[in-house]
Amino acid sequence: MSWYLIYFIIYFGFLFGMGFWYFFRVKSSDDYLIAGWSMGFWPIVGTIISTFCGAAVFIGWVGMGFTIGMSGFFKFALPAYIFTLILIVLFAKPLRRQKLYTLADLFSERFGSKIGIFPSILSAFIYSVPTLALQIVGMSTVFTLAFDMSFNAGIIMAFALILGFTILGGLPATIITDAIQSIILVIGIIALFIASIVYGGGLKEILASTPTDYLTPFGQEGVAAVLIYALSVGPFYLIWQSTWQRIFASKSEEVATKAGVTAVIIATLISILPYSIGVIARGYVPADINPDLIFSYVTVELLPSALGGIILVGLLSALMTGADSFILQGSSNLTKDLYARLIRPDASERQMMRVSRLSVVIIAVLGLIVAYNITNIIDMYQWALRLSAVTLVFPFLAVMFWKRVTAIGGLSSMIVAAVLTIIWPFLNTPVDETIVGFSASLIIMVVVSLFTGHSNNEKVNAIYYEDFKKQKNDVHERG
C-alpha cells in the first residue's frame, strides 16, 4: 500500500497544482471551455490520446479481449479511429473556421437556436453524464483495490477529485495535464502488456494455447457480424464532442489536423494492447472472473506494488482525463448552447464564467448519481454512444453537405431516430436497433426536408462546400 500511496500523492499533487495554476490564469469562458483557441501540437496530441483511453479502454476493452478476443479491436476500437481520422482530415479545418464550441452550436447556427436544444440535451445528459459515471466507477475500483475502501467511499472520493480539478482549471488545465498523463498512460499499459506475456508463459506458449477464434479479426462471430457492429459504433466519432473541443482548442488549423492525425495513429497502436492483455489473461486468471475486473486482478494480485502502482496511476490518468473531458463537454452544452443562446444572449463574461463552473457542478453531480447504478461498464458506454450516433450523424452530414435540408427535416430525423433506437430492443426483432435508427434518420430527414421549406431563422448553406469556395476565392485573390 505504501507504494500506491506515494504514487497517488505525487500524481494528485501535480494535478491539483496545475488546476490552481490555471484557476488564476483563466479569465474568460472561452479560455475555460475551449482553451482560448491557443494549444500547440504536442498538448493536442497528448490530450487526444488520453481522452480516447479512458475506462472503456483500460477496463472494458481488456474485458472484451478476454471474452471475445482480438475481434473486439476490429469491431469497436478500429472503427472509432477510422471515423475520427475522417472527422479530422475532412472536417477539422471547415469546423474550426466556424468559431463554434459544440455540435449543437453548429446546428443552432444552421437551423436556428431552438433546434440546437435537442443535440445539446443529448450530448450533455445522454452521453456526457453516463460516460462520466463510468470514469467515477473506474476510479472507485482503483481506490478499493489500492486502499481497501468501500465502494461508496471510493465513489465519493473519485467524485470530489474529479470535480475539484475540473472546476479549478477548465479545459486549459485538462489539456496540459492530459499531455503529461498520456506518457504515464502509455508506460502503464505497455508495462501491463509485458507483465501479461511473462505470466502467460511467453509469446510462444500463449499463441499455442489460445484458440484461433480469439486471435483472428472476425473471431467466432464472423465477418458480417463484426462489420455491422463496427458500422453501428464508428460513425459516432464523427460527432464526438471531445475531439471537436480539441480541434477548436488548437491554435491553428494545421495544428488541429496534424496533431489529430498523429494522436489517432498512436492511440490505434496503444489500443491493440488492452485487447491483447485480455486474450493473454485467459491463460492465468480464474475462468469465472468478471471481465471488468481482469485489469484490476492482474495489476494488484500478480504484480509487485512498485510496478502495479505505476500501472494504477496510468489507469487513474486515463480515468481523470476522460472524466474532466466529459464534464467539460456537458458544461459547454449547458453554458453555450442553452444559457448563452436561449436564456441570456447578452450575458457578461463574469456571468458566463459563473455559469460555466456551475454547469460543471451540475454534470458532475448527475454523473455521481448514475455511478451508483452502473452494472456493466462497456454496455453503458455502447448504449450512450449508439444513441448519440443514430440521432446526430446524418443531420451533421446534411449540415455539411446538403443545402436542401430544412430545420423541420433535421429535427424530425433526430426525434424519430432516438425514439426508435430506444424502443426497438423491446420489440424482439432480429434487426439491430442501430441499423433501424440510422435508416430512419436518413429517410425521415430527406423526405421531410423535400416536403418542407426553410424557415426564416435558417442560414441556408452547405458548410463544407461554402468553406471550400471561400478558401478557393481567398487563394485566387492572393494570387
pLDDT value of residue 405: 95
The answer to whether residue 460 sits within a structural domain is no
pLDDT tens for 275-286 read: 999 999 888 888
Structure pTM?
Answer: 0.84
Scanning the structure block, which residue is given the C-alpha cell 433546434?
115
Task: Give the percent of the chain with pLDDT over 90.
Answer: 20
Lowest mean pLDDT among 9-23, 423-437, 452-466: 9-23
Q: How many residues does the chain have?
A: 479
The Cα-based distances of 113 to 49, 106, 455, 461 in angstroms read: 33, 10, 12, 16
For 199-230, how does the pLDDT look when each residue is reduced to its tens digit (9 = 90+)? 888 888 888 888 889 999 888 888 888 888 88
In a domain? residue 128: yes
Per-residue confidence (pLDDT) for residue 297, from 0 to 100: 76
Q: What is the pLDDT of residue 242?
A: 80
Q: Is the residue at 466 inside a domain?
A: no
Q: Within 13 A of 351's CA, how many CA atoms are on the CB side?
A: 9
Give just the sign of the alpha carbon dihedral 173, 175, 176, 179. Answer: positive
CA 325 to chain centre: 8
Q: Residue 71, exposed/middle/buried by CB under 10 A (0-12, 13-18, 19+)?
A: buried
**pLDDT reported for residue 478:** 54
Task: Please report the pLDDT score of residue 303 as a whole number.
Answer: 74
Report residue 417's pLDDT band, with 50, 70 and 90 as the boundaries. Answer: very high
Residue 307 included in any domain: yes
The answer to whether 299 and 195 are in contact (CB under 8 A) is no
Residue 138 has what pLDDT?
A: 80
Domain span at residue 297?
A: 2-388
Q: Quick check: 56 and 133 in contact, CB under 8 A?
A: no
The answer for residues whose C-beta is within 8 angstroms of residue 317's C-beta and 6 or more apart is: 11, 50, 181, 182, 184, 185, 188
What is the per-residue pLDDT across 230-241, written as a single tens digit (0 to 9) for each?
Answer: 888 889 899 888
Model pLDDT for residues 290-340, shown as the tens digit of each residue: 777 777 777 777 777 787 787 777 777 777 877 887 888 888 888 877 887
Tell me which of 208-222, 254-268, 364-378, 424-438 is least confident.
364-378
Residue range 110-127, pLDDT digits in tens: 888 778 788 888 888 888
Asked if the structure places residue 426 within a domain, the reply is no
Choose the weakest-confidence range: 9-18, 195-204, 255-264, 371-380. Answer: 371-380
Which cell numbers in the block locate residue 254?
494545421
pLDDT at 304: 79
**pLDDT attached to residue 471:** 66
**Nearest CA among 121, 88, 15 for reference residue 260:** 88
Structurally, the chain folds into a number of domains equal to: 1
CATH, residue 151: 1.20.1730.10
DSSP-H helix ranges across 148-222: 151-199, 203-209
Q: What is the mean pLDDT of residues 24-42?
A: 69
- Structural domain contains residue 453: no
Domain-located, residue 437: no
Please tell me which residue, 74 or 385, carries the higher pLDDT value.
74
CA angle 471, 237, 311 (to 5 degrees): 120
pLDDT for residue 56 is more than 70: no
Q: How confident is the prediction for the chain on average, in pLDDT? A: 83
| Per-residue pLDDT, 185 | 73
The 10s digit of each residue's pLDDT in 335-368 is: 877 887 778 888 887 888 888 888 889 999 998 9
The pLDDT of residue 415: 92
pLDDT of res. 81: 93
Q: Is residue 470 part of a domain?
A: no
Could you give the percent of the chain with pLDDT greater than 70? 90
Per-residue pLDDT of 430-439, as tens digits, reads 888 888 999 9
Count of helices and strands (H, E) across the chain: 23, 0
Locate cell 436556428: which residue?
Answer: 112
Q: By three-state DSSP, how is residue 326 classified?
A: helix
